[in-house]
Amino acid sequence: MKRLLHAIAASVSLLVSPALAQASPSAARPQDDALAPTGRWSANTAGRALTPPMGWNSWNAFALDIDESKLLASAMVIKSSGLADKGYQYINIDEGWWARRAADGRLVVRTDKFPSAKGRGGKTSFRPLTDRLHALGFRAGIYSDIGRNSCGQLYSDDKPNLPSGTVAEREVGLYGHVDQDVALYFREWGFDYIKVDGCGIRGLPADAPKVLDGTFRALTPLIDSDVVSRTNIAAVRDLYQQVARALATSNPDGDYVLSICLWGSSNVRAWAKDVGNVSRTSEDIFPTWSRMLHNLDSVARRPLYAHPGSWNDPDMLYIGMGDFDASHMVEARSHMSLWAMLNAPLLIGMDLRKATAEQLAIFGQPELIALNQDPAGNQAVLAHDSDDLMIFVKTLATGRKAVAILNRLGAPVDMTLTAEHMKFSDDRPVTLRDLWTGAQSSFAKETGIKLAPHETRIFMADGTRRLPDGLYLSEMPGRINPAVDGVVHPEDEPLIHRGILPWRNTRGGGERPRYAGWGGAQIDMTPFGGTLSVAGRRYVTGMGVLANSRLEIRNDGSRSFAAMVGVDDSAEDSEATVTVAIFADGRLVSRSAPMRRGEPPALLTAGVADARIIEIVTRMDRPVGGRMPVDLLDAAFTR
Ligand code: GLA
């Protein structure tokens, strides 16, 4: 039905003259037409996350066994080592702090672990701890669950560190208590950051053993982490939106961070950008190389879903443990380089009392921190993608480029880096400065680079831009919001590394693809990872989108926009037509004729001076059964 409405809306809009379309965007916007321009940026900007949050979290080092002295010890190292001055400011308590929920609904802190929370009149309070952290110059983070019960309660046997009491007293999650808990955490206790997990809405069906034995109340699961079509995406999203609203109410100054922890389930990789500040794209990281690759891959092809205010979160750093411990410095540096390039939150996960000077230097590497915190907020994009090696390129606010080359293999690799990877002219010199060694080098056209097993080489690169007076859309993912990405039925991304799960080994058939977000919008490739190709010609630069999508793009003062647009050769329907329209602040400024697969691309140009939001809308004339990718080739703003 929705599709039909879209199709009708599409045909109606084709009849609208540009003059009519220039009426105010709201007047022109049919109620149920998600493709109608809005003239607005709709990805989340509430909260305090213009750059990815940096700090420390207790989980990787201590799991449920966290206490005040452990937390403060790591905080003090962050302070004394200078990491605080470099931006590590959040000290986040993960699970393990709850004692129970009192009869009046107020949460009680475990004072055996957090003695400063003892309070008066039987009311515990984290205020003394957050006061102390604030006095030290830090911000403080707390942990909760969107359901009634927590991940630890469902999946851990660490009883001494879990809430105790009656069934009701052990219901410590936000479910049914959103406003009360958020007000307690933020207004009364003074927290600045909340991580909201989702186990309580995934693991308590009526037949769960812990429900049958009376440990917990049943809560019909909204999430099936393995099967997105069995997940009530709208209901999950609505619960997190309630938290976002409560946070805005409790923090009128906007000084808060909402971290959504749905481990890539619930199609969250597509919608978290509209609701929260950071959002987990995969299951938990473990200190193994293979698991790090899994988490990395879960963000690697999602640069368009991260912007100032809402970041992809491949989970906390595991530097200091396992495959990233003090005897694996190559892997530790790779992990840090990749998290920096991908605009991941930089949350240290180790017990810093045990950190070596070399490990502290990795966390504190100033140039990597600057990449991560670059104000343009462009998550690095893939310039080369294989199971063996990845090249990530990040365009900085200054227009300069950083490039990271990851050898995923346990064997050395000889690779070729080209000027084209960075969209530099290949007849002019390119200089590279290695951010770990400081070594300088230069080349023209291409250069050979050797990588050790698991090594990431990371460089600042300077060259002559192939587009001298502008920026390709491919270089500004932080300014592009796929407001409607055209995905009708969420599908799981098949390209994410699937290692042997440490806790299952090879029992069963292995880890299946299970993070929805396949399709949508991509940089320099089709939504399904193919080469951009129109009428038999291949292109290296452009955006791949789906038909029936709407992109919002922030203009930063450019005067004109141009793109060659066409239906990608991989489209599964040759009869349907797609029209591409460009709007400036809600006003139609350019529109293609209806185009079919196999037809050559059409040039669209538009004057956009003074316009703040450009929208690109692709509309199909009819519903089709298969995939309909559309290419915006060499799409760019020029000054
Ligand atoms: C989930 C989260 C982890 C951690 C634990 C706590 O597994 O993904 O990051 O918060 O819960 O139990």
What pLDDT, in 10s, does the model give residues 560-607?
A: 999 999 999 999 999 999 999 999 999 999 999 999 999 999 999 999
Q: Among 26-35, 120-129, 146-155, 183-192, which stretch is predicted with the lowest mean pLDDT?
A: 26-35
Query: What is the CA(323)–ligand 1 centre distance, in A?
Result: 20
pLDDT at 254: 97
Distance 285 CA to ligand 1 centre (A): 10
Confidence of residue 30 (pLDDT cuts 50, 70, 90): low
Show the beta-strand stretches assigned E in 102-225: 107-109, 139-145, 193-197
Residue 24 confidence class, pLDDT cut points 50, 70, 90: very low
The H or E element that residue 241 is part of is: helix 233-250
Q: Which amino acid is at 366?
A: P
pLDDT at residue 504 in the model: 87
How close is the Cα of 150 to the center of ligand 1, in Å? Answer: 9
Mean pLDDT of 328-336: 98
CA 286, distance to chain mean position in Å, is 19
Tokens of 22: 């220039």
Q: Is 515 exposed, middle or buried (CB count within 10 Å of its CB: 0-12, 13-18, 19+)? A: buried
Confidence grade of residue 630 (pLDDT, cut at 50, 70, 90): very high
- Look at the block and give the residue holding tokens 């180790």: 350
The rounded distance, in Å, linking the Cα atoms of 107 and 174 is 10
pLDDT at 131 over 70: yes
**CA-closest candidate to residue 297, choices 551, 499, 500:** 499
Give me the pLDDT at residue 502, please.
82
Percentage, residues of the chain above pLDDT 70: 95
7: pLDDT strictly greater than 50: no
**Packing angle, helices 68-80 and 127-135, rounded to 10:** 10
Which of the residues 33, 94, 197, 524 is marked catalytic?
197
Is 213 among the catalytic positions?
Answer: no
Q: Which atom of ligand 1 is the closest one to the Cα of 155?
A: 12
Distance 284 CA to ligand 1 centre (A): 7
Residue 629 has pLDDT above 70, yes or no: yes
Q: Name all contacts of 131-138 with Cβ < 8 Å and 24+ positions apart.
A: 131/190, 132/72, 133/75, 133/91, 134/190, 136/75, 136/79, 136/84, 137/79, 137/84, 137/89, 138/55, 138/75, 138/78, 138/79, 138/84, 138/89, 138/90, 138/91
pLDDT at 62 over 60: yes
93 falls in which pLDDT band (50, 70, 90)?
very high
Closest ligand 1 atom, residue 151 Cα: 12
The count of other CB atoms within 10 Å of the CB of residue 284 is: 15
- CA angle at 188 for the pair 186 and 189, rounded to the nearest 5°: 70
Within 58-133, strands assigned E span 90-92, 98-101, 107-109
Flag whether pLDDT at 12 surpasses 50: no
What tens digit of pLDDT does each residue of 251-308 get?
A: 999 999 999 999 999 999 999 999 999 999 999 999 999 999 999 999 999 999 999 9
User: What gap in Å lies between CA 483 and CA 502, rounded to an integer?
Assistant: 37
pLDDT above 60: residue 6: no
639/305: higher pLDDT = 305
**260 neighbors 240 (Cβ within 8 angstroms):** yes
CA distance 122 to 120: 5
Q: Ligand 1 pocket test: which of 58, 59, 92, 501 has the largest number of ligand atoms within 8 Å of its C-beta? A: 59
Render 443-467 in DSSP notation, one character per residue: EESEEEEEE-TT-EEEEEEE--BSS
- Give the C-alpha separation, 476 to 144, whole Å: 34
Query: In the structure, what pLDDT confidence band is assigned to residue 122 with cuts at 50, 70 and 90?
Result: confident
Name the band, by pLDDT with cuts 50, 70 and 90, for residue 232.
very high
Strands (E) in 205-267, as ranges, are 257-261
Tell me the two tokens of residue 412.
């050395």
Predicted TM-score of the model (pTM): 0.94
What value does the mean pLDDT of the chain take? Answer: 94
Per-residue pLDDT band for 1 (boundaries 50, 70, 90) equals very low
Residue type, 182: V
Q: Which of 65, 95, 172 to mutate to test the pocket of ligand 1 (most atoms within 8 A of CB)?
A: 95
Atom in ligand 1 nearest the alpha carbon of residue 94? 10
- Measured CA to CA, the distance from residue 74 to residue 60 in angstroms comes to 13
- Cα–Cα distance measured from residue 402 to residue 417, given in angstroms and rounded to the nearest whole number: 13
Establish whether 462 is a catalytic residue. Answer: no
User: How do the residues of the chain divide into helix, strand and coil, expressed in percent and rounded to 5?
Assistant: 25, 25, 50
8-state DSSP, 62 = H
- Ligand 1: which atom is nearest the Cα of residue 280? 8
Q: How far is the CA of 116 from the centre of ligand 1 (A)?
A: 25
Residue 137 C-alpha to ligand 1 middle, in angstroms?
26
31 pLDDT tier (thresholds 50, 70, 90): low
Which protein residues are within 6 Å of ligand 1, measured from CB?
Answer: 59, 94-95, 151-152, 197, 261, 263, 284
pLDDT surpasses 70 at 343: yes
**Using one digit for the tens of pLDDT, what is the confidence trace for 386-444?**
999 999 999 999 999 999 999 999 999 999 999 999 999 999 999 999 999 999 999 99
pLDDT of residue 29 exceeding 60: no
The total of other beta-carbon atoms located within 10 Å of residue 82's CB is 11
| Options 284, 426, 492, 621, the catalytic residue | 284
Residue 362 CA to residue 335 CA, distance in Å, equals: 10
Q: Whose CA is nearest to atom 1 of ligand 1?
A: 151
**Cβ burial 83-113 (10 Å sphere, 16+ → b, else e):** bbebbbbbbbbbbbbbbbbeeeebbbbbeeb
